Amino acid sequence: MSFNVDIDLHRGERHISAAFDTPPGLTVLFGPSGAGKTSILSAVAGLVAPDRGHIRVAGRTLFGDGIDLRPETRRCGYVFQDMRLFPHMRVQANLDYGTAGSLDRDDIVALLALEPLLDRWPRSLSGGEARRVAIGRALLSGAEFLLMDEPLVSLDRRRAEEIMTLIERIRDELRLPILYVTHDRTEAERLATQIVELARR
């Protein structure tokens, strides 16, 4: 088991309900804008609290049964749509920020081809380069699972292909559970171990 989620939550006037139990691998939350995909990621990360239900990742309860772990104790790596790199830190410092866990920094730098970028400032990076750095920082944070919110948005075809190839390597080589948001059917079918389809309510 990878993600076992059964929650209801409200975001403003919207009611969002999600229930899924997925095998190990990469789970795609697929659906149109407004279906609640990012809100579900935020609930798994502990950034918003569901009204009811439970959230378990790889058998570990993050929410439910009287448990509501703080975000910093959930051991998740979150790759936001806008990357959220620290602009006042070079790439190397961004990667080192909050480093914990068992993954070797040099291995991650090699996996994501980050060596040429280490001395650069975030403002000098292309969209694809910034996403690679954001993924590297998430992996090096001690993450036991990854949340990825439309990591290919605004990338051209070539850079999107590069990032998809990297995500496939993370899925297959590191074997971390990944919960991944997209509204692109082709992207979902290529990357997913399982697709969870959400409809806008």
pLDDT tens digit sequence for 147-166: 999 999 888 888 899 999 99
pLDDT exceeds cutoff 80 at 138: yes
- Of residues 19 and 105, the one with the higher pLDDT is 19
- Select, from the ranges 40-49, 76-85, 103-112, the one with the highest average predicted confidence (pLDDT): 40-49
User: Got the DSSP string for 99-141?
Assistant: -BSSS-HHHHHHHTT-GGGTTS-GGGS-HHHHHHHHHHHHHHB
> pLDDT class for 194, splitting at 50, 70, 90?
very high
| Assigned fold of 3-197 | Rossmann fold (3.40.50)
Q: What is the pTM of this model?
A: 0.91
> pLDDT class for 1, splitting at 50, 70, 90?
low
pLDDT digits (tens, 9 = 90+) for 20-57: 999 999 999 998 888 899 999 999 999 999 999 999 99
User: Where do the structural domains in the chain lie, given as residue ranges?
Assistant: 3-197
pLDDT of amino acid 102: 64
